[in-house]
Amino acid sequence: ADQAYDLETARSKQDVTEQEMQIRIIERQKQIELEEKEILRREKQYDSEVKKKADADRYAVEQAASANKMKQITEADADKYKIEAMAKAEAERVRMDGLAKAEAQRAQGTTEAEIIRLKGVAEAEAKQKIAEAFEQFGQAAVMDMILKMLPEYAKQVASPLSNIDK
């Protein structure tokens, strides 16, 4: 009976030890499951933090690029306006220079035409006076004029002969 009691006690201890081992296995499995869940939670948290930071960085880069693009577009528009204004001013200056030159040439042409007209009138009046003088003096005036021109005529006729050496 003592042996049966010891045997039963040993079996009970074995069952208790076995059940304790089962409990430890279950506890260990639950602990592993908890650790896996904690790892998954940390991964998700890390992913969300990294993604949020990456999204924030990407948004900041996009905003900076957009602002830079707008700045460049504005500067290009300002340069374009400046160039157009300078071109218009240069064109206006060239046009005004052209108009001034044309006006000056027109005035010069008008002045030259007036001078030529006045010379023509003066020559016509002089020839008329000469003609009147010829009428009054007749043949004597013609002879006087021919005699005055004769030395110059002789000089012009003789000038080619002066170029001959021998």
Q: How far apart are CA 148 and CA 123, in angstroms?
A: 19
56-92 pLDDT, tens digit per residue, is 999 999 999 999 999 999 999 999 999 999 999 999 9
Between CA 150 and CA 158, with CA 153 as vertex, the angle to 5 degrees is 125
CB-based contacts of 141, cutoff 8 Å, min separation 6: 133, 134
Give the global pTM.
Answer: 0.37
Q: DSSP per residue over 109-139, as a string?
A: HHHHHHHHHHHHHHHHHHHHHHHHHHHHHTH
Give the pLDDT score at 51: 86
Q: How far apart are CA 132 and CA 125, in angstroms?
A: 10
CB-based contacts of 142, cutoff 8 Å, min separation 6: 134
From first CA to last CA, the distance across the chain in angstroms is 182
Mean pLDDT of the chain: 91
pLDDT confidence bin for 163, thresholds 50/70/90: confident
102-121 pLDDT, tens digit per residue, is 999 999 999 999 999 999 99
Question: 3-class SS at 101?
Answer: helix
Q: Are 21 and 14 in contact (CB under 8 A)?
A: no
pLDDT confidence bin for 140, thresholds 50/70/90: confident
Give the pLDDT score at 146: 84
Give the pLDDT score at 143: 81
Q: Are 72 and 79 in contact (CB under 8 A)?
A: no
